[in-house]
Structure 1
Amino acid sequence: MADDHDDRPAYDPSEPTPPEREPPYRQTAPQSAFTGTQVTIGCLVSVVGLAVIFGLPLVLA
């Protein structure tokens, strides 16, 4: 990880002049691709949740 910091320009907060080049883009956790199994599980959880939210009150009414 030490190599990641070597690419950044030096920055002195007391100096009002910005660095001569832009710092590299931040690399945060990118959106990963979903597998078909994960999508299926997510859809099933959603269907069960909707059934509980809307179906249970209808059954009890």
Structure 2
Amino acid sequence: MDDHSHEPDPEKRVTAPMQEFGGREVGIGAAVTLIGLLLAYAVPFLVTF
């Protein structure tokens, strides 16, 4: 049987929920969330005036 997998070793594959993350990634996520909330809610609210 031929192995047509695109991954070198599927047994060693790591998915995102298994990867560790640090304070830098948390900070970036918080900043992106804050910018998204400002764009979604604050800007339209300010434009209505």
What is the TM-score normalised by the length of structure 1?
0.52
Unpaired runs of at least 5, structure 1: 1-11, 13-25
Q: State the percentage of identical aligned residues.
A: 24
Between structures 1 and 2, the one with greater helix share:
2
Using CA pairs under 8 Å that are at least 6 residues apart, name the structure with larger relative contact order, 1 or 2.
1
- Shift >2 Å, 4+ stretches: none
Name the larger-Rg structure: 1
CA RMSD of aligned residues (A): 1.8
Unpaired runs of at least 5, structure 2: 2-10
What is the TM-score normalised by the length of structure 2?
0.62
Q: Paired residue for 1:29, among 5, 11, 14?
A: 14
